[in-house]
Chain A
């Protein structure tokens, strides 16, 4: 998927440049792109390193786990089909907790384990079960409390107040999560009626 889009972006860009006579710009773009990528990485590197360091402390001290436990009661309500003592809920909460703190590398393994547990409960193995769909909608909305890469770039481009976007970003996430979950809720209701 990403491969196609990558190729299409380059293809459209170059072909359009051929026809519009924009070749000088494209030549310059090709030659300077890699340097721009290096600048971007150098801008991101320090804060990613700093933040993964700090988050490692949260992981080792058990704070992440505590945070995940705090989410558990809310999750029971969102996943009525999953038995309370099932491991899946634990993995889902660690996935969401890790995502919230911007710990993507810890979130993905927990998310994959959650899917594995949900699959064990699933009756039709090639079809997505309702809890899986709810989990993915929740996950793709991606509630992040500390968006480190964005903050790093805002600092690099000399924002007067790099962190001013944190609160509106959290609110936007909440709104989009609620929208996704509401849609999911109504589709579920409708499917139940048909049964």
Chain B
């Protein structure tokens, strides 16, 4: 299983470059052109990253989560999972940058190879920002009655979260 995960990335690079050479694409110049676009994209997302890190850190550093979890304890019982998981799971469908900021925080505090670190990685990887995508796509064609699109998307996300927990336990 671990080998499978490790094969995907190099295999992709190999196939893309090989196919490019075969189709007589100027691979080096094309790479530089794309890389430049990537540079611009990263600079464009920088303000959003600053904004989200700012908000997430104030929220996490205030320890309000401990307070909220204590309120919820009678309802959900004792969970041994680190509580950063909860805001990450809630924010994942709303803002990719916010959940990225929490994942960064989890890596910093627990390390990427801890249970939460792996869980956060899988959760970040397995779903997209549902609410954002729905707002953007339906907004672009002026649809206001979205029927079960939102619930369907969030249901899939919920399943993603559950799968992430199970798979983290299964794989590691």
Contact = CB atoms under 8 A, between A and B. Distances in A.
A57 B54 contact: no
A37 B31 contact: no
Contacts of B73: none
A157 B91 CA distance: 22
B121 A150 contact: yes
Nearest to A126: B144
Interface residues of A, number: 101
Interface string A52-78: 111111111111000000000000000
A20 B67 CA distance: 10
A36 B128 CA distance: 24
Interface in A122-153: 124-128, 132-133, 136-137, 139-142, 144-147, 149-151, 153
Nearest to A112: B140
Interface SS, B side: helix
B8 A167 contact: yes
B111 to A, nearest CB: 6
B54 to A, nearest CB: 5
**Considering residues B8, B31, B57, B95, which has the most beta carbons from chain A within 10 angstroms of its beta carbon?**
B57
Contacts of B157: 140-141, 176
Given A60-B30, A125-B142, A160-B113, A10 B58 contact: yes
B74 interface: no
A2 B94 contact: yes
Contact of A53 (B38, B121, B130): B38
The prevalent SS among residues of A at the interface is: helix
A163 B5 contact: yes
Contact of A159 (B53, B112, B131): B112
Interface string B92-129: 01110010110110011001110001100111111111
Given A30-B58, A57-B16, A167 B152 contact: no
A82 interface: no
A88 B139 CA distance: 18
Interface string A22-37: 1001101110011011
Interface string B14-54: 01110110110101001111110111011001100111111
A5 B94 contact: yes
Contact of A154 (B6, B107, B143): B107
B76 interface: no
Contacts of A44: 42
B13 interface: yes
A53 B61 CA distance: 37
A86 interface: no
Nearest to B127: A142
Contacts of A176: 126-127, 156-157, 159-160, 163
B20 A154 contact: no
A99 B81 CA distance: 31
B57 A22 contact: no
A115 B139 CA distance: 10
8 contacts: A2-B95, A37-B50, A41-B45, A54-B31, A115-B141, A140-B127, A150-B125, A167-B171
